[in-house]
Chain A
Amino acid sequence: MAPSCARTPANATNRQPALELRFLDVGQGDAILIRHAGKTVLVDAGETDGIVTILRALGVDTIDLAVASHNHDDHIGGLDTVLQAFPVRIYLDNGHPANTRIQRRVLELVRDRGVPYRDAGALTDSVIVLGDATLRVIPSPVTGTRVNPNDESVALVVERAGFRALLTGDSERRELGALLREARIPDVDVLKAPHHGSRTGVIPSWLARTRPEVVAISVGAGNTYGLPDEDALAAYGEGGRAVLRTDLDGDIVVTVDGRGCYEVRSGRTGEEVRAHGGPAACAVPPTQESRP
C-alpha cells in the first residue's frame, strides 16, 4: 500500500475509465459491485430481490462473474433473482454445500441455465484479469469438519497499479488467522470489514498486516445483531483511519485510476470525496500523455 498523498482527481488522469468498487447498501448483508474495462463482477447479492432494482438503476445489464463468498442467506439471498434477471457468464463459490433452500435454488439456476461454475478451491489460476486490473481469488485455508461457514469465505484481492482492496466475506478469527499464517494477505488501501463489523471479524494482527487506509462496513441500519460492534469500530478507526458504513453512508464508492490513485465517495454525500490516496504520482498533475 502506498502512502496517502495530495490528490489529483482519480478519474482525470487515466486513459481507461476508473475501476469502480461499489459497496452496495443492501441492508443487513453484503453486495459489492466491481466494474472495469467493460466487465462487471458482483460479489454477493444481499438478502433480498432488492438487489435487482439496485443493479438496474446502476445500468447493469450483464454480470460477467457472480461470486458467492459463502452460502449464508445475507450473502446469497438475492443471487437467485440476479441469475433470473441478468445474463450471468460465470458463477464462482466456495464449493461447500449448505442445506438451505436458497443455496439449492441458486445452484439449480446455475445448472439449468448452463452458467459455467467455478469452485474457488479448485482453480488452477487464481488471478482474474479485468483490463489492467486483477482480482485474485483466495480460497479459505480453513478445512475440516465442524467449520463455521463464515470461516469458509472466499477472499478477493482487487488490484490496479499500486492500489489494493481486500474483500473477505464473513471471515472470522479462525480464517483471518489462517490467512495471515499463509502470508497471502498483502497490505491494502481499502479493507472490507469482515462479517459486517463484528468483533469476531477483527484481530490486531489482521489490521497490522493489512494496514488499510479506508475501511468499508456493509451493515444494515437497526440490525438485530447490534452490528457494527463498538470495539471493532474503535479498532478500525484507530489513527484517524476513514471508516464508512453502508447503514450511515449508503453506497460506498471507490474509484481507482490507472496510476492507482483512489477516491472514496458515498451515496449520501454525492460528489464529496470522503477519502483518497495512492502512490506518490497522485500528487503530480497529470501529464499531457496521461490525459483522457
Chain B
Amino acid sequence: MLVISSIVALAGGTEAAARPHYGGTVRIVLREAPLSLDPAQLNVAQGKPISPLIFEGLTRFDAHGRLQPHLAARWEPGVGNQRWQFWLRPGVNFHDGAPLTADAVAASLRAANPAWTVSANGDSVVIETTAPDPQLPAELALPRNGIARHAGSRLLGTGPFQISQFQPGRTLVLAANEDYWGGRPFVDSVVASLGQNWRQQLITLELGKADVVEVAPEQVRRAGLSGRTIVESAPNELIVLAFTSGAESAEEARLRQALSAGIDRASIVNVLLQGQGEAAEAILPNWMTGYAMLFAQTGQRSGDVTATAMAGAMTLSYDASDPANQLIAERVALNARDVGIRLQTAASTANADARLLRIPLASPQPQLALQAVATAAGLAVPQFQGTSAEELYAREKELLQSGRIIPLAHVPQASAIGPGVQGWRTDLFGDYRLADVWLSGSRL
C-alpha cells in the first residue's frame, strides 16, 4: 500500500493551484497501432489506453487497483459463481443519445464472449459461464468487455470521448462527449498518433508536437533529466523466458532450473533497464500478491548450480523491434555460459527453444493477470475456484514448477508529460484518465 500511495502522489504532483480549464486538444502518441476499435476484437491484454476512453465496462478498477462499479451499479453472483446478475446504472446514454439498455449490453458482451450466455432481464444483465468464474466482475473491467453498439458504420460507446476520425493503425481523433454521465471532459478533443516507436515518440515530444508520450523503461532516467514530468505505474509488465515445450527429461528440467538460478536479474534491472522495475522470480509482482518473496531462489546460486548443471545448447529468440530485448537476451546468454549452458540468441526465430517475452499483466486482479501470462506464454491456463491468496499461490507455483517459464523482471509503464498538461493522474495500473486532464498556457 505504501508503494501505491507514492505512485499516486508522484502523478498528483503535476496539478496546479488553478482550477481546470475547459477546451483545447491533447495530443498523445502510442506504440499500439490498432486496426479496429471494436472491443470485441481485442484480446485480454489489448485496448489500453484508448479503448476505455470510448467504451466503458460494467466494472472498472480505480486508481488504487480496487474493483468498482461503473456501468453496473451493483451485482450479485448466483450459487457457485457461475451465474451473475448486474444491474445497470441509470441515466447513461450512448454517444448518439440512445439510452444504455440491458439488451444493448447483452449484445455487446455476447459479441466479445461467445462462450457466455448473456441475457437481458429488465434493467439488469444475467451472465452465465460454462464453469465457475469468481473473477467475472474483474473480467468485465477489461477493455475487451467495454460496451459498444454498432449504428450503421458508427461504433458507439458511453465513454467520455467519442470517435471523430479513425485511420486504422495511424491516427485516431476523439471528441468530448458533451453529455457524459460522469461530466464532460475538460479538453475538447484527443488526437492520438498510433504505431510510433519509443524513439519517435521522444522526438515528437521534444519538437513540441505531442503532449503525452510513452517512455521505454531504460529511457526514463534520461527523459526525466530533461526536465519533463515522468509518471509511472506500478510494475505491470513481465519480462520472462518462456520455453516452447515442457522439459523432456529430468536432466533438461535441471538444466532449466540451473539457467533460472544463474540469471543475474539485478543486473538486468539495474544496468539494462536503468533501475526501472524489479528483479522477478515470481510471475506476479509483489504489489499484486504480497507473497512474491516466497519464490526467491535462495541457497542455490552460481557455485551450487554450476556443479549440477550439464553442458547443453539452447536457442533463445527475442523481438528485435525493441533494442532492450536484444541486450537482455544477450545478458541471459552470458549468465547461462557462467553456469555451463550454451545459449544462442536470435531475433524472432520460429524454432527457438525459448522466447524472451514482454507480457502485459492485463489486470490488477492477480488471478486474471496470471491467466493472461499463461495464455501469452503458451501454458495451460490456470482455473480458480475462488479468490483466496492460497489458491492463487498454488496456481502460480504450479506454473513455475512446470519448468516452462522463467521470470526475469517486472517493469512499470512510464509516460512523459509535456508542459501545459495539467491534472494528469496515472493510476496504479497505468490507465490514461484523459477526461480529467486539462490544458493551460500556450497549450490551451
Q: Please say whether chains A and B are actual partners in one complex.
A: no
Binding site for B on A (CB under 8 A): none
Binding site for A on B (CB under 8 A): none
